[in-house]
Amino acid sequence: MKKAILFPGQGSQAVGMGRDFYDAIPECKALFDEANAVLGYDIATICFDGPEEELKKSHNTQPAIFTVSAAAFKALQLKKPELQFDYAAGHSLGEWGALYAAGVISFENTLRVLKARGEFIQAACVANPGAMLAVINLDRAVLEKIAAEAGVILANINSPDQIVLSGTAEGIAKAETLCKAAGAKRALPLPVAGAFHSPLMAPAAEKMAAFLSNIPLAAPCIPVLSNVTGQPHASVEAIRANMVAQITGSVRWVESMQWLAAQGVTEVVECGPGKVLAGLMKRIDKTVSVSNIGMISDLEA
């Protein structure tokens, strides 16, 4: 019976996240303290007390979600030291959590990368304004035609019935109209800062390529799935290239989860705030068992 560990991305944050790990487990408190020192500001207080507007800013959200996810992973390791995972994956910024869990990158350097990534993406959002649209229950082939007509892209292929489009505000407005006309159950503009996972993020990708060239990476101890290919990274250099491409490329989450199931994975554990990935897995493959480690009580369960 094979297992995979999953790490959530942006949108899973909530004020109060991680506080119980910090209060109950000294090793988890040490991670938050280290994060504060590396980042140069109190990310722990932003996680625990907000305000929500601060937590939602990309340069805070990304290291915050990672730190809470790392604390949850540490708590899981301490509580269940015998538990071994065969694969790791993460959604968007969560892929950095998966790389950390697989020993590719240190905790300190992951924080440095995510702080920079958030800043680069925020700057790209200002330079190239855009929008995103979540589409529910519309055939992917139809959606691909709509995206081409509207000049937007499929940014997040989250589940068979949920795909997120990304592009200019004008393009997304046109796509919304076309999706509703085509019979989509829902077409919802998302409250995001810009067009994530689209070519409008190219300036951020360029900066990330330069930044990552100075970050040491090691071979993973277990396969880590790439968002941009839906399959494991082939090498350390592939990781470096894929993590740059990820900023402008589609998150192929459905393909990633189907690949895991095809390898015989029967159980996945989402490690970090929220239950988004567990919910998506239930819609991708109901035969795979899902669980969450987002707070201390989840460990007991």
Cβ neighbors of 184 (< 8 A, separation 6 or more) are: 135, 136, 137, 138
Give, in degrees to the nearest 5, the angle at Cα 196 between 190 and 197: 125
Tokens at 19, concatenated: 């506080």
* Tokens standing for residue 263: 């390898």
Catalytic site includes residue 197: yes
Counting beta carbons within 10 angstroms of the beta carbon of residue 53, is it exposed (0 to 12), middle (13 to 18) or buried (19 or more)? Answer: exposed
In 3D, which of 216, 233, 227, 220 has the Cα closest to residue 254?
227
Residue 91 a catalytic site member: no
12, 58, 69, 92: which is the annotated catalytic residue? 92
Scanning the structure block, which residue is given the tokens 């000049």? Answer: 151
Which residue among the candidates 59, 91, 166, 197 is catalytic per the annotation? 197
> Do the beta carbons of residue 43 and residue 115 sit within 8 Å?
no
Q: Is the Cβ–Cβ distance between 216 and 104 less than 8 Å?
A: no
Q: Report how far apart, in Å, the C-alpha atoms of 103 and of each of 106, 107, 286 are.
A: 7, 9, 30
- Enumerate the active-site residues: 92, 197
